[in-house]
């Protein structure tokens, strides 16, 4: 092996080790995303997402009302759905949020992480408690793991 080739291989191996050594566990990534409460915190998690990741949102109202379900590709702009959601949530405020309870499992080499958070809220004068469940699916990506999909369920029943 020539010195240039040996140097290249050494740099390549060192880069891979650096990338994998600093990779957070999927449970830590999930907790960081669930606890992000503002745009700045969410932007800090951008590198944890796979470029083709999808986010599915389910809102369960109960009392015989049909669930709202929508999804989008994370890298795309939500556009009109974002405006519709903001309009639907007028008068809604969170008053308390518990630390997420994190559970994880591995199926066929793929990490699945579930985070359950109880949220106290006030919605146009009605106070209640909702269960937010975030189900993350991670897959290998660029020497580490990245979020491939996230399903968030807001359960108001």
pTM above 0.85, yes or no: no
Grade residue 83 by pLDDT with cuts at 50, 70 and 90.
low
What are the sequence ranges of the domains in the chain? 24-155
**DSSP state at residue 76:** S
**DSSP state at residue 157:** -
Query: What sign results for the dihedral spanned by CA atoms 68, 113, 129, 44?
Result: negative
CB-based contacts of 35, cutoff 8 Å, min separation 6:
41, 99, 100
Grade residue 20 by pLDDT with cuts at 50, 70 and 90.
very low
Grade residue 58 by pLDDT with cuts at 50, 70 and 90.
very high
Query: Could you tell me which residues are beta bridge partners of residue 76?
Result: none
The pLDDT, as a whole number, for residue 85 is 67
Q: Does domain 24-155 have CATH number 3.10.450.50?
A: yes
Q: Which of 144, 147, 135 is nearest to 48 (CA)?
A: 147
The pLDDT, as a whole number, for residue 57 is 94
Query: What sign results for the dihedral spanned by CA atoms 19, 50, 136, 41?
Result: positive
The pLDDT, as a whole number, for residue 41 is 80
Instruction: Give the best-scoring range by mean pLDDT among 61-65, 86-90, 135-139.
Output: 135-139
Instruction: Tell me the average pLDDT across 89-109.
Output: 92
CA distance linking residue 33 with residue 144, whole number of Å: 17
Percentage of residues in the chain having pLDDT higher than 70: 80
The pLDDT, as a whole number, for residue 149 is 97
């Amino acid at each position: 092996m020539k010195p240039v080739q040996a140097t290249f291989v050494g740099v390549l191996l060192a880069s891979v080790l650096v990338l994998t050594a600093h990779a957070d566990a999927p449970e830590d990534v999930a907790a960081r995303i669930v606890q992000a409460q503002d745009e700045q915190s969410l932007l800090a998690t951008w590198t944890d997402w796979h470029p083709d990741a999808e986010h599915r949102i389910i809102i369960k109202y109960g009392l015989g009302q049909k669930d709202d379900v929508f999804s989008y590709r994370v890298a795309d702009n939500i556009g009109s759905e974002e405006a519709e959601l903001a309009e639907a949530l007028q008068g809604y405020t969170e008053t308390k949020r518990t630390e997420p309870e994190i559970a994880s499992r591995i199926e066929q080499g793929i990490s699945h992480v579930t985070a359950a958070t109880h949220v106290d809220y006030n919605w146009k004068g009605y106070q209640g408690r909702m269960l937010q469940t975030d189900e993350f699916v991670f897959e290998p990506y660029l020497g580490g793991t990245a979020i491939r999909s996230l399903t968030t369920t807001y359960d108001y029943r």
